């Protein structure tokens, strides 16, 4: 189990993280979310032992994770960390980058394992290409494969799919998270993408103003977004009489107390996002077809079970 006990950290004067506590069981997947600058990357770096804490302690099982004051080499053996910068060897091939952490005593096993890893990140065709010739997204995939090459007990991923295009992202995300679950590798992901969280995380931690604003399952936080920041992470939402209502929780009805006027219509593929005016306030709802600007529509909140 990973135990984060009351940690605080500042680079200079201002606390970036303040009294942060949480724990993660072996094999669990946790997302760290929060606005840009909220301290997600800093938290991952602290978990890896990159900096000395100002207060608190971090433990993985019985080993304490300590910063550079106490360690010559940063990062414990049982942990892998994929930073937002990748840290690859540019002049060697994709295969060599991935195999760098594998033993040379068993060449056949090394070759098989490298191929298995190339498959996870869908880079079989690039095995012999030099890393410096790859795109940003391809480099990110090499970094991911490197991190899981020698099975860590815990992996820290900082926005792991941020450079990967939508064509590849969905399948890569499924492959990687499935692989980590199968191998019972504990995974902590800093992200601002709800698709990294909803289908794959057991726990979701929201950072805001240096503190943990919420820590619960994605299912719970989706259904009970106690704060606008949390609701906005999941999608378009409205504040109707103090209640946070997602755009897909509103429907158009024959008549209701909520009389609105259509203001804008946005095509979204399988639905339209409709902006209406409700007593001078903007409200967004999802509808299966386009509506004419300036028409009057009545809306109602769908009860969710
Ligand atoms: P996030 O990953 O959530 O975007 P970061 O952890 O990168 O946030 O940054 C949190 C805050 O710490 C930001 O205000 C950022 O400017 C500051 N910060 C990050 N790295 C450093 C550093 N090496 N030195 C000083 N301040 C830093
Ligand atoms: Mg970051």
The answer on 246 and 193 residing in a single domain is no
Ligand 1 atom, smallest distance to 12 CA: 25
Q: Where are the alpha helices (DSSP H) in 224-303?
A: 228-234
Of 188, 223, 258, the position where a domain reaches its end is: 223
pLDDT tens, residue by residue, 149-200: 989 999 999 999 999 988 889 999 999 999 999 999 999 999 999 999 999 9
Q: How much is the pTM?
A: 0.93
Residue 247 lies in a domain: yes
Residue 292, pLDDT > 90, answer yes
How far, in Å, is the centroid of ligand 1 from the Cα of 42? 6
Compute the distance between CA of residue 140 and CA of residue 205 in angstroms, rounded to an integer.
24
207 CA closest ligand 1 atom index: 3
Question: Residues with beta carbon inside 6 Å of ligand 1?
Answer: 11, 16, 34, 36-42
**CATH number for the domain including 79?**
3.40.50.300
In a domain, 131, yes or no: yes
Q: How far apart are CA 190 and CA 143, in angstroms?
A: 16
Instruction: Give the burial class of 87: count Cβ atoms within 10 A of its Cβ; 0-12 exposed, 13-18 middle, 19 or more buried.
Output: exposed
Nearest CA to ligand 1 atom 18: 11
Q: Cβ distance 130 to 165 under 8 Å?
A: no
Strand 154-158 versus strand 79-82 pairing type: parallel
Domain end residue (candidates: 197, 223, 249): 223
Q: What is the CA radius of gyration of the chain?
A: 23
Residue 43 CA, ligand 2 centroid: distance in Å = 9
CA-nearest residue for atom 20, ligand 1, is 42
pLDDT digits (tens, 9 = 90+) for 140-160: 999 999 999 989 999 999 999
For residue 15, the CA-to-ligand 1 centroid distance in Å is 11
């Amino acid at each position: 189990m990973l135990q984060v006990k009351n940690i605080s950290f500042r680079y200079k004067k201002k606390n970036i993280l303040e009294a942060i506590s949480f724990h993660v069981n072996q094999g669990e997947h946790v997302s760290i979310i929060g606005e840009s600058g909220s301290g997600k990357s800093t938290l991952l770096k602290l978990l890896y032992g990159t900096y000395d804490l100002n207060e608190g302690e971090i433990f993985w099982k019985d080993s304490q994770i300590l910063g550079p004051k106490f360690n010559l080499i940063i990062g414990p053996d049982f942990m892998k960390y994929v930073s937002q910068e990748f840290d690859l060897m540019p002049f060697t091939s994709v295969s060599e980058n991935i195999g760098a952490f594998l033993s040379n005593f068993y060449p056949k096993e090394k070759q098989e394992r490298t191929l298995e890893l190339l498959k996870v990140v869908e880079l079989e065709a690039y095995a012999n290409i030099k890393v410096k010739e790859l795109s940003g997204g391809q480099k990110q995939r090499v970094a991911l494969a490197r991190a899981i090459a020698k099975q860590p007990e815990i992996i820290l991923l900082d926005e792991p799919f941020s450079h990967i295009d939508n064509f590849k992202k969905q399948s890569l995300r499924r492959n990687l998270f499935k692989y980590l679950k199968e191998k019972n590798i504990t995974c902590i992901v800093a992200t601002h993408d709800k698709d990294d969280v909803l289908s794959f995380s057991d726990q979701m931690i929201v950072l805001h103003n240096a503190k943990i604003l919420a820590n619960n399952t994605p299912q719970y936080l989706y259904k009970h977004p106690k704060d606008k920041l949390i609701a906005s992470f999941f999608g378009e939402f409205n504040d109707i009489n103090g209640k946070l209502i997602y755009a897909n929780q509103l429907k158009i009805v024959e008549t209701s107390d909520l009389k609105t006027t259509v203001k804008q219509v946005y095509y979204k593929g399988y639905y339209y996002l409709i902006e209406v005016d409700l007593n001078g306030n903007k409200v967004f709802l999802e509808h299966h077809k386009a509506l004419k600007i300036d028409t009057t529509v009545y809306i109602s909140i769908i009860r969710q079970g």
